[in-house]
Structures are given as C-alpha cells and as structure tokens.
Amino acid sequence: DAFFVVRTQPDVAVEFLTAAVTNLVGYSPADHYADPDLVLSTLREDYRAVALEVFGSEPGTDFERELCWTHRDGREVWSLHRGSVRRREDGSVVVEGSGRDITALHEARTRLESAEAQFRLLAENASDGSSRASLSPSRISTGWSTTSHRFPARCTWTPASWTRRWANPAGSANG
C-alpha cells in the first residue's frame, strides 16, 4: 500500500508519499514532491473529476474511491484509495490516506462481467429447455423450466405430456 498526505489548502502540495507509490504508478515520491500536478496528470482523464471531488471535500469527510492511473510505462493501473480530509490547527487542509493496487481484482471483475453478459446473451437466445423429474415409484412429479422464450414454440412436448410419459413409459410421448 502507498500512504499519502496531500495538502489542498491554502495551496496544493504533496507532503508525504511512501516509496510504494513507485510500484503503483512508476513515479517516485521525489517526482511527486517536485511536481504536485503529477497526481492529476497520471490519472486517466475520466477519473480526474473523482480525485478533484475528494481534494475539494470538506474537512471531516471520509472517502473510498477506485481510480485508474496511467503507469509511467503506459499500462493502466487500478487502485483503491481510502482516507479522510482533515483541517490542521494552522488552518491548512490535507487529504490523508492509502492507495492499494487492485489491477488484478479489476481485471477479474471485468472478465466476470463479460462472461456473465455472454452467458445472458446465450441464454436469451438459446432454444434449449430443461426438465426435472422425480422417478420415485410412489410419486412421480416433474418440474419444467426453459432458458428461452423460443423453446415452447419449438417443442411438441408439454409439461403434461412429460408427466404422462414418465408416469407411463409405454405410453405415447406426445400424448
């Protein structure tokens, strides 16, 4: 985890960063001390407003935000930042917190969401159905479910015909 203290009032300055920030975004603490704009310039553009919202928060505000950075080597790095905004006795305002690399978690979540979307698309367009049956000699029952609204139109077997079929295996399948 990278720990940080960024002063937001009366001026902007990076006051403290642990060396772990180098692994996170590829820039050292010294790079950030020399250029406070590096924090925003390495954020992916669509996440800059999120960081500015945190930096503009009232003292006493706690935060937890996911951010996407562009590493010095060009790859995207996702991080989870937690912290709080605090007013010091001298009147200055600082944002203190930590940032953790969650790139692997973000990528896994993205792959899962993609797989779920593909499965949903497949299920919505499938022409398959399924049936549950209890073949107990004393009680035969079936349940019927489909994965697609198209299935009943393509199938000549109904739940009732399934029940008759399983209750009387020698009987007609359709009837």
Residue 133: both structure tokens together:
């049956």
Distances (CA, A) of 17 to 28, 60, 148, 174: 9, 21, 55, 74
What value does the CA radius of gyration of the chain take, rounded to a whole number of Å? 29
Phi, psi of 81 (to 5 degrees): -115, 130
pLDDT tens for 143-162 read: 545 444 555 555 566 656 65
Judged against a pLDDT cut of 50, whether residue 131 lies above it is answered with yes
Lowest mean pLDDT among 50-64, 79-93, 98-112, 152-166: 152-166
Residue 6's pLDDT is: 95
Whole-angstrom distance, CA of residue 36 vs CA of residue 29: 10
Q: What are phi and psi of 25, to 5 degrees?
A: -120, -5
